[in-house]
Structure formats: structure tokens, C-alpha cells
């Protein structure tokens, strides 16, 4: 696995801007949870979408497509939670399960060398 430093910095900066927007636009008491949780999920998936490459080109393509899909899901989930009053355990449960599913599939793809 190779990590491109420049695109990683750019992906992290984009994720920080998105997380700041989520934090500032969220009108509930869970602003900090939205900011930190959104940043972790969005940054991780965006970094894997544009910065990471693997030995096999097929593995790189599959993981980038998967990460792009989960990046969009993370954005949609964050936007929904930003607009709706929610309990912190519900946010952690939904986004945590989505993040762990993404991590499991990435691990399986990497291990299978697809």
C-alpha cells in the first residue's frame, strides 16, 4: 500500500472544511460529535478514494470505487443528521457500523488481491 502525501494533505483539508461546515451548520447540541465523527469518516474514505494505491491495479480500482461510494454515504448520513435532532448513540451506531463495514470490505479486497 502506497500513500501519496500531497493528495493525502488535500483530502484531509477537504475533509476538515466539510467537517467544519457540518459543525457550524448543525443546530443541535451534538455539534462536536458531528464535527469529529464526520471528519473521521469522511477523511478516511476520501483518503482511500484519492491517495492510496496498492500493488495490484484491480485492488486499487476496487478499493477506490468502494471508498467513493462510502464517502458519498458518509456525506448523506452527515447531512441527514445535521438537519434532524438525534441522540448521540444513534449517530455513533449508524456511522460506526457503516465505517466498520467499509473497513471490513477494504480488508477483504486487500487480502484477496483483487
pTM of the prediction?
Answer: 0.91
Digit-coded pLDDT (tens) for 60-75 = 999 999 999 999 999 9
Q: Where are the alpha helices (DSSP H) in the chain?
A: 5-25, 31-50, 57-83, 88-112
Alpha-carbon span 28 to 87, nearest angstrom? 10
Confidence (pLDDT) at 6: 96
Give helix 5-25 / helix 57-83 axis angle, nearest 10°: 10
Q: So where are the chain's domains?
A: 2-112
User: And the C-alpha cell for 47?
Assistant: 483518503
Positions in the chain short of pLDDT 50: none
Amino acid at each position: 500500500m502506497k500513500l501519496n502525501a500531497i493528495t493525502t494533505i488535500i483530502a484531509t483539508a477537504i475533509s476538515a472544511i466539510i467537517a467544519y461546515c457540518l459543525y457550524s451548520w448543525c443546530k443541535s447540541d451534538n455539534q462536536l460529535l458531528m464535527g469529529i465523527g464526520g471528519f473521521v469518516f469522511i477523511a478516511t474514505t476520501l483518503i482511500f478514494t484519492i491517495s492510496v494505491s496498492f500493488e495490484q491495479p484491480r485492488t486499487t480500482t476496487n478499493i477506490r470505487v468502494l471508498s467513493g461510494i462510502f464517502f458519498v454515504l458518509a456525506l448523506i448520513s452527515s447531512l441527514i443528521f445535521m438537519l434532524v435532532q438525534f441522540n448521540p448513540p444513534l449517530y455513533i451506531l449508524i456511522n460506526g457500523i457503516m465505517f466498520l463495514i467499509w473497513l471490513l470490505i477494504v480488508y477483504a479486497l486487500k487480502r484477496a488481491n483483487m
